[in-house]
Each structure stands twice: as C-alpha cells, then as structure tokens.
Amino acid sequence: MTIQSQVHDHFKIFAGKLPADRSISTFAEQVSRFAAEHAIAAKSIGVEYLESADRLVITLGYRTGGESYPITLQSVSLGNAGSWEDGRDFTDLEARMRDAASRIDNIICHELFVTTDGELVMVFMTLA
C-alpha cells in the first residue's frame, strides 16, 4: 500500500439529531449502507457537533472506481474532556484515546466531537 491509495476527492454528508444516549448507530447504518451500495473505498471521516442546531454532521471521504470494502462507525465516550486551555497537558486524554482504540479492531481512521456538556466522543471508522 502506498500513500497514493489514501488520496481521495469524493465526499458524502450525513446529518441528524444526536440521540440523548449519544449513540451514532443510525449514522453508522447510513454510512455503512452508502459504502456498500456505491462500492466505494472509504478513506476518511469528519465529525462535527453543531451545538446551535443540535445536530451531528458526519462527512465520509472516499474513492470510486477501484477497490471497495465494508466499513462501519463505532463511537466511544472518553468522558469529560476538561479544559481546552492553551498549554494544557493532554497526557490523560491521550491515554483514554489509546485505551479506546485498543478495544477496537481494524481502525481505518478516527474523529472526535465534544457535546454541549463537555463529553468527548471518539468515532472510529473501521473495516467491518
């Protein structure tokens, strides 16, 4: 595999209300179904929680015309993110990220979002 296989220029947007339990299962189903139905090679995700609209936005970056493979999204709460002050030592938060990743197989990429109450949620795109 070369870095060129990661290059992509197609994107799909998924948006909707984040359930109270912070589950992304509905989004995961939509993203997985899109990848399968369009036989794409998923390369990246973007995740943003829009507080003002109370919506979660997920973008999927992908390639067409080549290999395709099944993907899924999984989320893990990392608890309260704490302060985002300049100069903060993020060692504890980085350890929580490593711990979350250690329990998930076949990670392609990840993203983070922070809820209005400061909960940090890590979203993994994985090979299904």
Share of the chain above pLDDT 90, in %: 74
Rounded alpha-carbon distances, angstroms, from residue 103 to 58, 74, 90: 22, 11, 21
Task: Say what the pTM is.
Answer: 0.91
**What is the domain partition of the chain in residue ranges?**
3-127
Two structure tokens written together for 93: 């938060």
Contact status, residue 60 vs residue 31, Cβ threshold 8 Å: yes
Q: Would you place residue 54 in the very low, low, confident or very high pLDDT band (cuts 50, 70, 90)?
A: confident
Q: What angle do CA 38, 127, 40 make, to 5 degrees?
A: 20
- Residue 84 carries which side chain, given as an amino acid letter? W
Q: Would you place residue 1 in the very low, low, confident or very high pLDDT band (cuts 50, 70, 90)?
A: low
